[in-house]
Amino acid sequence: MEFTVTTRDPSCGARCGELRLPHGVVFTPAFAPVATRASVRGITAGRLHECGTQFLLANAYHLALSPGAETVEKLGGLHAFMGWPRPIITDSGGYQVFSLSALNRITDEGAEFRSPLDGSRMFLGPREATRIQNVLGADVVMAFDQCPPFPCSRRTAEAAVRRTVLWARVCREAHEGEGQALFGIVQGSTFEDLRACCVEQILGVGFDGYAIGGVSVGEGARLRERIVRFTAPLLPAERPRYLMGIGFPPDILRAVAEGVDLFDCVAPARMGRNATAFTEEGRLRLRNSSRREDPRPIEEGCDCLACRLYSRGYLNHLFRCGEMLGPILVSIHNIRFYHRMMETARRAIRAGEYAAFCEAFLSRYLQRKDGRS
């Protein structure tokens, strides 16, 4: 992995960079759609490429459950398996320690899960998570971490930081993926001193890049923004900074202003499947009866497949009839919207005008009540 900061915006902390990985270059700041089980639902690799997708995020825990890391390896590795020739990041499964807490038991060695598929037992610790990701063959693999819930006590947050650092050391030792970058993750909930303590210890382990975790677990936009603003500048300027699981436009653009480079979220595709489109003037609900005879595209000036060929009225019809094409088209639009937003952000940074761009974009986006993310 090679990361180069190419432009720093003097108006704020935003920056452009080039992240060179075995399967291509990612121009940052950049957003990744989520392909949890090696697929962005309903959208082919070719369509993702047309949308401007530079990299994807897949999940090691879910792929280990089905079809199994060894099966993916026998079928040529994750890139060949899913027909995606560009960079891939794999999440370690640490988030599932949080999201599937009712199905697991956590110790310093790792987490024992009961499979949501068939109830079978599965143990996932830092060594296991790293080995799975090495076998899958992603360009970037994530250290195994513990994400505490929100709200949580200071004692709970301290325990999660201690365990995250402990597991980070094991991941660093166990990592054997040739050409694969390994990123460490910072936890600490909403406690700034714990965030700073975790950063110091994770930096001491030494990673190729660093992620801010645990800031999309219900803490709310203002608190989330405060934690990102505090944590991002503590991370090395010469390494890529990754904000995990954050995916609504205001959150992304404000984090870019703090110097964050990489983002991922399920929001574009998930909202698309639920008939909600992102536009520069906020969210658009396509199931509403007011769209039934609307001849306009989702967004004027958008170059995505849905906006080039179809009207809001047609999309309203597809959702009302339960046709699968509706969720696919709106998901394509949303993913393209995110990439257009990031392309414009990169141009603004290179021009030294990111702060003004961000303010103007959010002013338009938040003017509609349902644009508040």
Instruction: Spell out where the chain has E strands.
Output: 2-8, 15-21, 24-28, 30-33, 56-59, 88-91, 104-107, 110-114, 121-124, 140-142, 181-186, 209-212, 241-243, 262-265, 276-279, 282-285
- The boundaries of every CATH 3.20.20.105 domain in the chain are 2-265
Question: What distance in Å separates the CA atoms of residue 359 and residue 110, rounded to the nearest whole number?
Answer: 43
pLDDT in tens, 132-187: 999 999 999 999 999 999 999 999 999 999 999 999 999 999 999 999 999 999 99
227 phi and psi angles, rounded to 5 deg: -65, -40
Spatial neighbors of 94 by CB under 8 A, at least 6 apart, are: 129, 142, 143, 144, 145, 146, 147, 185, 213
| Sign, CA torsion 117/118/124/130 | negative
Options 91, 145, 251, 261, the catalytic residue: 91
CB of 331 closer than 8 Å to CB of 345 = no
Using alpha carbons only, give the angle 365, 368, 371 rounded to the nearest 5 degrees: 55
- What pLDDT does residue 371 have? 44
C-beta neighbour count of 74 within 10 angstroms: 11
- Looking only at the bridges linking them, the beta strands covering 104-107 and 282-285 are unpaired
The tokens for 210 are 């660093």
- Phi-psi label, residue 199: left if phi above 0, alpha if psi -120 to 50, beta otherwise: alpha
Question: What distance in Å separates the CA atoms of residue 39 and residue 334, rounded to the nearest whole number?
Answer: 16
- Whether 91 is catalytic is yes
Q: Residue-wise pLDDT tens for the chain (373 aa)?
A: 999 999 999 999 999 999 999 999 999 999 999 999 999 999 999 999 999 999 999 999 999 999 999 999 999 999 999 999 999 999 998 877 677 666 578 899 998 877 777 777 889 999 999 999 999 999 999 999 999 999 999 999 999 999 999 999 999 999 999 999 999 999 999 999 999 999 999 999 999 999 999 998 989 999 999 999 999 999 999 999 999 999 899 999 999 999 999 999 999 999 999 999 999 999 999 999 999 999 999 999 999 999 999 999 999 999 999 999 999 999 999 999 999 999 999 999 999 999 999 999 999 999 865 544 3
162's enclosing H/E stretch is helix 154-174
CB of 86 closer than 8 Å to CB of 24 = yes
- What pLDDT does residue 372 have? 42
Burial class (CB in 10 A: 0-12, 13-18, 19+), 41: middle
User: Into which CATH architecture does domain 2-265 fall?
Assistant: Alpha-Beta Barrel (3.20)
Question: What distance in Å separates the CA atoms of residue 108 and residue 25, rounded to the nearest whole number?
Answer: 37
In this prediction the pTM is 0.95
CB of 126 closer than 8 Å to CB of 146 = no
Options 118, 261, 264, 303, the catalytic residue: 264
* Residues linked to residue 19 through DSSP beta bridges, in sequence order: 3, 26
- What pLDDT does residue 118 have? 78
Looking at this protein, which amino acid is placed at residue 231? T
- Whether 9 is catalytic is no
